């Protein structure tokens, strides 16, 4: 379980707006996050990941406190053991598909399983600039899963995928989320794409 009760003043061009989120995420649940552009969806994920600091409140898991403004607790990202799929993929230009995954995990069976589920077997030795946008996006998803995170944060993870690829991949990913016991939060502009797998929803803004 991840319990969140946080506030952050957003620096918007058109004045100031306060992002407030109070929510408990059940272990193993898949939550779709929706809301208008600029509402703070990405900022919220980054606060969970420890990349942006909330102004006030708490973020707690069953066993540990990640953030507590009054007690001045703020665990760094690497201690939160989170998988994060960024909108800009954050891939390394000089590493092949296989090398990306081997950098994240030494479990060769797991690496092979991920490559296959991402449909990247024949591209294992390719570097990002020799992959299509959709393939790069799939690699970013696999990379986030490689560390078997307990919390997986995905920011528009399927935006570059065509419809057919998307529904097949989503089904496979659901099995992986369950296998590793990840609690998953997915920001999506097209929430219908998650109808078959999401178990909860959060609207921001």
The stretch near ligand ADP (CB under 6 A) out of 6-14, 99-107, 139-147, 191-199 is: 6-14
Regarding 18 and contact with ligand ADP (CB under 6 A), the answer is no
Regarding 10 and contact with ligand ADP (CB under 6 A), the answer is yes
Q: Please report how many Cα atoms fall inside a 13 Å half-sphere around the Cα of residue 167, on the Cβ side.
A: 6
**Considering beta carbons, is residue 53 or 64 the nearer one to ligand ADP?**
53
85 to 104, contacts with ligand ADP by CB under 6 A?
none
User: Which alpha helices (H) appear in the chain, and where do they start and end?
Assistant: 41-49, 97-104, 108-117, 133-146, 163-180
User: Which alpha helices (H) appear in 18-162, and where do they start and end?
Assistant: 41-49, 97-104, 108-117, 133-146
Phi, psi of 25 (to 5 degrees): -100, 125
If we measure between CA atoms, which residue out of 191, 160, 151 comes closest to residue 33?
Answer: 191
Regarding 16 and contact with ligand ADP (CB under 6 A), the answer is no
Regarding 52 and contact with ligand ADP (CB under 6 A), the answer is yes
> Smallest gap, in angstroms, from Cβ of residue 41 to ligand ADP?
3
Strands of the sheet containing 56-61, edge to edge, are 15-25, 2-12, 56-61, 65-68, 73-74
Regarding 35 and contact with ligand ADP (CB under 6 A), the answer is yes
The stretch near ligand ADP (CB under 6 A) out of 41-49, 108-116, 122-130, 133-141 is: 41-49
List of residues contacting ligand ADP (CB under 6 A): 10-12, 35, 37-43, 52
């Amino acid at each position: 379980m991840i319990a969140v009760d946080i506030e952050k003043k957003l620096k918007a061009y058109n004045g100031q707006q306060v992002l407030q989120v109070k929510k408990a995420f059940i272990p193993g649940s898949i939550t779709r996050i929706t809301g208008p552009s600029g509402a703070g969806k990405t900022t919220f994920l980054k606060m969970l990941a420890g990349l942006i600091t909330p102004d006030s409140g708490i973020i707690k898991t069953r066993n540990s406190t990640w953030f507590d403004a009054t007690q001045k607790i703020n665990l760094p990202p690497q201690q939160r053991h989170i998988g994060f799929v960024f909108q800009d993929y954050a891939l390394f230009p000089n590493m092949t598909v296989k090398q990306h995954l081997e950098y994240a995990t030494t479990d060769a069976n797991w690496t092979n399983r991920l490559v296959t589920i991402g449909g990247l077997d024949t591209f294992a030795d390719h570097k990002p600039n020799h992959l299509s946008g959709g393939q790069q996006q799939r690699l970013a998803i696999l990379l986030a899963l490689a560390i078997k995170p307990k919390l997986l944060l995905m920011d528009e993870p399927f935006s570059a995928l065509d419809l057919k690829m998307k529904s097949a991949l989503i089904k496979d990913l659901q099995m992986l989320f369950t296998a590793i016991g990840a609690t998953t939060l997915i920001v999506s502009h097209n929430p219908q794409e998650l109808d078959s797998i999401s178990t909860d929803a959060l609207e921001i803004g």
